[in-house]
A and B are shown apart, each in its own frame.
Chain A
Amino acid sequence: MSSPSYELGSIGKKLRKMTLEQFRETCDPAEIIALRGQTTSDDCYAGHNVVLRALGNPSPRDRVGIVTDLLDHGWEVGRMDLFMLLENKKRDVPVELPLVERLLAGGSDPNYLERRGSRPVMLLLRGWVSDEEAAPILDAILRDGRFEPHQRATDGQSVWRRLHQSRLNRAQSIDAIRAYCQRTGRPIPRLGDMPERSFDV
């Protein structure tokens, strides 16, 4: 008999590729929750966390449906969930927005620093979607109030600075984040505050 951790890992791998209909036909969310109760793993370890795996499903409709079903049955929101959702390059904002709001309300971290170095808002605004398209999700993150635009990725750039480097296509998001900083009393950095080594101007 396999261990609960092994079972969860096996289910998680399938959830990355399943449609919502296949999930509802073949999986029992209550059983998955029960298996989770028998493990003591870190919520940011995708090996045992089927929600993290499901959030990597390439279809927006399927990943939102599967994760929503699991949350409805009592799966707890994890710190890394928002990051995993926004890591997907294929985005359907109207479909994903309710899940974004639910993850934020459940305590998912809008500043999560993943080991490869990025943060959720960097993924949201990395060039795959336009400012207008991403605005509802960015607004949801800003409404949540925990977002820190000055926290840096491992390459030394803050979310704010990275946006400024692509300012030609991100001016609307920059304005939204600047207004958020003013509203919440967060400092607004100077233009050009990136530390540079040997950058000849």
Chain B
Amino acid sequence: MDHETYDMVAARTFTVPLTGLNDYGSGPRTFATRTRGGAVFVRTEINRENFGERMTGRELCTLVPADHGLVIDGALVDAAVVTIWRERATVDIATDRAAAAARYGTVPDRYVPVPPASTDLASLLYSLAKEGVEFAGVVRFLGDEHRVSGDLPPELVDAAVAERARLIAPAVGAPLSIHLSPGNGTGDSSTNFDHEPAWDPAPAPEQWVEELERHPRTDPFIPDWWLLRLRQAGAL
């Protein structure tokens, strides 16, 4: 891999395996590595590990320890190249953050309070799980649309859509997906504000610009992958 591949790597999303974590994800957070000829390389694909951390390629470049290379798609990238990538990634992220802050704002004077927590989704999840209903899936949101992936009862989808509508706040944004499952038997939901949902096909970058206009986020609440989409759409 050479310098020209930086642009491709920087724009990708990796799930980088972590080691040293217990069942709850606590403990030291260490990148999984492999060694070749005495050199250490950070791996970018989950193998036997349970935990991974999602990040863009350029975020990864800024986090790789000094003197470490990278393993990307089985190919080794030398530490010397990663050092150059790190410098580029640091500058690129700072540039995009500054542009996002100028265009979408940063810390507001005051946040608008959101309505009190709803128990509708949690109650429905609990009752379905207790009844032994088998379900597991994700509801993904973009703009005012949603799409279900997996097997979810219609009433649960409706409850998730209502919950998402409640969880919209100016400056902070709206959930991008809600993951629902019986969990350990009492119902489990995970609300995702930060990770790029796995839409298939992927939305056009312009749709992420529209989503940001519809549900505004200030710069600190815009994750890096979204900055990349904004740049692709010419909105930075």
Contacts and interface: CB of A to CB of B under 8 A. Distances in A.
Given A169-B114, A178-B220, A200 B25 contact: no
Contacts of A169: 113-114
A201 B177 contact: yes
Interface size class of B (residues with CB under 8 A): 35 or more
A185 interface: no
Contacts of B179: 199-201
B193 interface: yes
Interface size class of A (residues with CB under 8 A): 20 to 34
B172 A195 contact: no
B51 interface: yes
A200 to B, nearest CB: 5
A191 interface: yes
Q: Secondary structure at chain B's binding surface: helix, strand, loop or mixed?
A: loop
Nearest to A169: B114
B172 A168 contact: yes
A196 interface: yes
A176 to B, nearest CB: 9
B190 interface: yes
Given A192-B55, A195-B29, 15 more contacts: A152-B26, A153-B26, A154-B24, A156-B21, A156-B25, A157-B25, A164-B194, A167-B221, A171-B171, A191-B222, A192-B195, A192-B223, A193-B53, A196-B54, A200-B138
29 contacts: A155-B26, A156-B21, A156-B22, A156-B24, A156-B27, A164-B193, A168-B169, A171-B169, A171-B172, A172-B110, A175-B107, A178-B220, A190-B55, A190-B223, A191-B223, A192-B54, A192-B194, A193-B55, A195-B18, A195-B21, A195-B25, A195-B52, A196-B25, A197-B25, A197-B50, A199-B190, A199-B192, A201-B176, A201-B197
Ranked 6 nearest A-B pairs via Cβ? A192-B194, A156-B25, A156-B26, A191-B223, A191-B194, A195-B51
